[in-house]
Amino acid sequence: MSVNQEQAVKHPLAGKQMSGAEMIIQVLADEGVDAIFGYSGGAILPTYDAIFRYNEAQNAHKGPNIRLIVPANEQGAGFMAAGYARASGRVGVGLVTSGPGATNTVTPIRDCMADSVPVVLICGQVPRAAIGTDAFQEAPVFGIMSACAKHVFLIKNPDELEATVRTAFYIARSGRPGPVVLDVPKDVQNWTGVFKGAGMLNLRGYQQRVETVAASRVSKEKAEAFFKNLAKAERPLIYAGGGVINSNAADQLRAFAQRFQIPVVTTLMGIGGMDTTDELSMHMLGMHGTAYANYTVEDCDFLFAVASRFDDRVAGKVHEFAPNARFIAHLDIDAAEIGKVKQVNWSHVGEARSGLADLTEYGRNFKKDYSKWISHVQELKKNYPMNYDRESKLIQPYYVLETLNEILKGEGIVATGVGQHQMWAAQYFDYKGARTWITSGSMGTMGFGLPAAIGAQLACPGKTVIDVDGDGSIRMNLGELETLTTYDIPVKVLLLNNLGDGMVRQWQKLYFSHRFSGSDKSLHKKDFVKAAEADGFGFARRLTDKADVKKVLKEFVDYKGPAFLEVMIDQDAGVYPMVGPGMGYKEMVTGDWINKRETPALPKAAEEIDMTKIPDLF
């Protein structure tokens, strides 16, 4: 349905008198919202009251409620909404008060913008007459959030409230997804008007741009150029990014890779786009990508970037990225990403789903044998696998995650904080499906994991959700442990405790002569297990003996309800491979336990395909 098109069936409440707050909640219900994450306060109280009354009315008719989850902090609410959206693909919703309530959500909103996550944040604001007077709990939300969000509305005209809320959902989920902020003055929430039940704002050029991109299909001429160059290639590679997940294009990516037998590397945000247990999956590339993934990038002669943006943690030295690639193709929904970092030979601006589907269909008669290349990348996997000191008497984080992976079998949802534990979780878990990996990528926000896991569990109540966290990261939103027990949300919190900010320490070892300025937490007195017990966890344990890892992890995962497990790991465990800042893949450090190759041995070229036959494929 277009923005200005009336609903085919008139809304049953159309014409009813409602307060602005009631309209907000009714539109949320119409949009399919089943959970709101937020903290109340004076400027948003009318809308919180409307939630209560809405659910009361629903109970009377045995209808579905909108569940309200109150966190310890508004930042937690924002990350819960983000975790909900990332795990489900639906729009996550936050609801906070004015002033500090709104400013506490700036980080999650920027985080969602950086990773293209669709959320709608509704903030209370002081009454319109008080705006600009430094009234109690007033903050310039429009100005602050405009630099961080996809779009911000300050609703001064009550007659536009209903349409604006509906429009916010359209903007959040359409095109390249992102966060939308609604700043709603208290008097607008208290205003009474007629509920229309349909209609959105006139978005001028936005809707046209979105519809143009959505309708964009790969032309026959573009497809012919793509496959002519693919036919010349001997070592093609797909480099898939987070847009594959955001656009629900995992099935199309897998079908394309299987049809043409092309290996796939993914970015951190693209994990889950390809089943990591598939023969064609080379797992994650980049700064902490697998050695075999990075070697595959080094060796490829044709690179197809799908919904990825050549960011600094992947491309490193841009001019040295994929140095043997004679042809680079780029498919992305955002025209601004084409050529922004790396110049390409072929591009298409459009949705990943339709673009991959079009190319798969155009190439239905395409035939080329890449078996030598497949054998080569499989040898890379075999010769340069992830590895660590398996004989160490200390508990190695890699061993913990390998063991947990054997229990989960790639079927659970893994959320993480940010730091070493994040990279270990990316490297050592299997991810068979899309939206099973929830992490803060571009912003790298510590404190993300626990609240995001809560949102993911609310979105996917039948799934096992694990928060893999670090002692530094979890401290930032530790209050959300109580949120788990308050609502009996069965997230499993795995804390890998190395008594410090491990990633920072690793950099300080490598680049700052072991000067651990501000990163050593060994003197901190926090007893995380006691904290979890104080918050009501029935399962709260500390693991210090390597011999107990398998047994305790199984008990941890099988526990019915929220569970907390702290594992005291080797403080000197590092994240490898590592491509240092400003370095290229040739400078990749593999550490003491991962093999490093000296000279690339590329597979011999197969027999050249007869280029005169290529046009006949179309």
**Per-residue model confidence as pLDDT tens digits over 380-408:** 999 999 999 999 999 999 999 999 999 99
CB 494 within 8 A of CB 467: yes
Q: What is the mean pLDDT of residues 238-250?
A: 97
86 to 80, 289, 434, 460, 553: CA distances (angstroms): 10, 22, 10, 11, 26
- Give the per-residue pLDDT at 613: 54
Name the percent of the chain lying above pLDDT 90: 92
Question: Does 186 participate in catalysis according to the annotation?
Answer: yes
Q: Which residue has the tokens 């349905």?
A: 1
Give the per-residue pLDDT at 598: 82
Span 591-604, average pLDDT? 81
pLDDT value at residue 4:
46
Q: What is the pLDDT of residue 612?
A: 52
Q: How confident is the model at residue 9 (pLDDT cuts 50, 70, 90)?
A: confident
446-460 pLDDT per residue, tens: 999 999 999 999 999
Domain 17-210 sits in CATH 2.40.40.20: no
- What is the b/e burial string over 88-105, where b = at least 16 CB atoms within 10 angstroms of the residue's CB? bbbbbbbbbbbbebbbbb
Q: What pLDDT score was predicted for residue 1? A: 43
Cβ atoms of 435 and 611 closer than 8 Å: no
Burial class of residue 522 in the structure, from the number of CB atoms within 10 Å of its CB (0-12 exposed, 13-18 middle, 19+ buried) = exposed
Catalytic residue, from 16, 58, 137, 546: name it.
137
Higher pLDDT, 609 or 540: 540
- Residue in 6, 10, 56, 136 annotated catalytic: 136
- What is the reported pLDDT for 604? 59
33-77 tens-digit pLDDT: 999 999 999 999 999 999 999 999 999 999 999 999 999 999 999
- Spatial separation of the C-alpha atoms in residues 585 and 201, rounded to whole Å: 48
pLDDT tens, 313-355?
999 889 999 999 999 999 999 999 999 999 999 999 999 999 9
CB 204 within 8 A of CB 8: no
Confidence of residue 358 (pLDDT cuts 50, 70, 90): very high
Strand order in the sheet with 264-266: 281-284, 264-266, 236-240, 302-306, 327-332, 346-349
Q: Can you give the pLDDT at residue 617? A: 55
User: What are the residues whose beta carbons fall under 8 Å from the beta carbon of 582, sequence distance 6 or more?
Assistant: 316, 317
Extents of the domains making up the chain:
17-210, 216-385+598-617, 397-572
Choose, from 18, 200, 282, 503, the residue flagged as catalytic.
503
Give the rounded percent of residues in the chain with a pLDDT score beyond 70: 95
Q: What is the DSSP letter of 525?
A: -
Distance separating alpha carbons of residues 42 and 186, to the nearest angstrom: 8
pLDDT tens, residue by residue, 158-209 = 999 999 999 999 999 999 999 999 999 999 999 999 999 999 999 989 999 9
503 carries an active-site annotation:
yes
* Predicted confidence (pLDDT) at residue 609 exceeds the cutoff of 90: no
Q: Is 613 in the active site? A: no
- From the list 153, 188, 185, the residue with the least C-alpha distance to 169 is 153
Radius of gyration of the chain (CA): 25
Is 74 an annotated catalytic residue?
Answer: yes
Instruction: Please compute, for residue 40, the number of CA atoms within 13 A of its CA located in the half-sphere on the CB side.
Output: 12
* Marked catalytic residue, from 18, 79, 113, 186: 186
Its CATH class, for the domain covering 216-385+598-617, is alpha beta
Angle at 530 between CA 446 and CA 496, to 5 degrees: 40
- With the C-alpha atoms ordered 67, 73, 79, 82, is the resulting torsion angle positive or negative? positive
Integer Cα distance of 340 and 323 in angstroms:
18
**pTM of the predicted protein model:** 0.94
Give the number of C-alpha atoms closer than 13 A to the C-alpha of residue 602, restricted to the C-beta side.
Answer: 16
Over residues 292-301, the pLDDT tens digits come to 999 999 999 9
Tell me, what's the pLDDT at 74? 98
The verdict on whether 75 is a catalytic residue reads no
* Average of per-residue pLDDT across 525-529: 94
For residue 614, what pLDDT band results from cuts at 50, 70 and 90? low
Please give the structure tokens belonging to residue 365.
């008669």
Run of H or E residues at 425: helix 420-428
Residue at token pair 């536009």: 160
CA proximity to 80, closest of 342, 467, 500, 347: 467
Of the listed ranges 23-27, 475-479, 603-607, the one predicted with least confidence:
603-607
Tell me if the domain spanning 397-572 has CATH number 3.40.50.970.
yes
Q: Which helix (H) or strand (E) holds 161?
A: helix 161-173
What does 343-387 look like in DSSP terms, one character per residue?
Answer: --SEEEES-HHHHHHHHHHHTTT-----HHHHHHHHHHHHHS---
What is the chain's mean pLDDT, rounded?
Answer: 95
The DSSP letter of residue 589 is: B
The answer to whether 216-385+598-617 and 397-572 have equal CATH topology is yes
Give residue 520's pLDDT band: very low, low, confident or very high (50, 70, 90).
confident
Which one of the listed residues 31, 74, 138, 402 is annotated catalytic?
Answer: 74
**pLDDT reading at 535 higher than 90:** yes
pLDDT band at 616 (very low <50, low <70, confident <90, very high): low
Query: pLDDT confidence of 522, banded at 50, 70, 90?
Result: confident
Q: Where are the alpha helices (DSSP H) in 277-370?
A: 291-299, 312-315, 352-362
Strand order in the sheet with 465-470: 437-438, 413-416, 465-470, 492-497, 563-568, 539-543
Length of the chain: 618
Say yes or no to pLDDT of 601 above 70: no
